[in-house]
Amino acid sequence: MPLKVYADGANLDQMLTIYRQKAAQGFTTNPTLMRQAGISDYQGFAQSVLKEIKDLPISFEVFADDLPTMAVQARKIASWGSNVYVKIPVTNSKRDSCAPLIKELSAEGIKLNVTAILSLRQVTEVVEALAANTPAVVSVFAGRVADTGRDPVPLMKEAVALCAAKPKSELLWASPREVLNIYQAEQVGCHIITATPDLIKKLALKDKDLEDYSLETVKMFLTDATAAGFTI
């Protein structure tokens, strides 16, 4: 499909399996995923990934909470490889906009992945800050938008149009909740979607016969009930 799927996670073995199977066109991670994976050496993990994956884009995030320190971290992360995108949050924890930093780094030619975006106002601010000739990713957390009871599809459609102002900027549908989101992202014109390894595996189900799938489900229930030794 024209939509690019980026694997989201921080398990090196899973990342390498996906890479070798050519099941994704890029990779993303973040401090939360790294902590959940038990990673304590941030740079060591990043460099172990980059040693194996050199030809696909990989996003690593800054974790400072003030713009000057974010800038230092961003430049260091960018130096790790030509395929590295530096993830910058749209604001810090005090709700200070990171747009000035985004503008500065993008003007330097640093490839950015601006993350944690949830509103069209934020999309507009980020796109305005990005340099026209520097590749960038604009990550809108459509899954979190959906968690609030709002349909993310109209928002993402508008975000596609906003990103068109900077042709080297790609819109990313972040935090999908189900495989359907991958097809929705493609339909609205997103360039990229992140997906966990479990969602990537489910792409093999595309156009599967529904009654065959029903039978497989029934067989699963029977197998598990038998294995558990259930009686009434």
pLDDT at residue 96 in the model:
98
> Digits of tens for pLDDT over the chain (232 positions)?
589 999 999 999 999 999 999 999 999 999 999 999 999 999 999 999 999 999 999 999 999 999 999 999 999 999 999 999 999 999 999 999 999 999 999 999 999 999 999 999 999 999 999 999 999 999 999 999 999 999 999 999 999 999 999 999 999 999 999 999 999 999 999 999 999 999 999 999 999 999 999 999 999 999 999 999 999 9
3-class DSSP assignment, residue 25:
coil
pLDDT at residue 2 in the model:
86
Q: List strand residue ranges (DSSP E) for the chain, in order.
A: 4-8, 26-28, 58-61, 84-89, 112-117, 136-140, 169-173, 192-195
Domain ranges of the chain: 4-207
| pTM for the model | 0.94
Closest CA relative to residue 199, chosen from 151, 149, 143: 143
pLDDT at residue 1 in the model:
52
3-class DSSP assignment, residue 161:
helix
- 155 contacts 120 by C-beta, under 8 angstroms: yes
CATH code reported for the domain at 4-207: 3.20.20.70
Handedness of CA 131, 133, 134, 139 (dihedral sign): positive
Rounded Cα distance between 117 and 63, Å, is 16
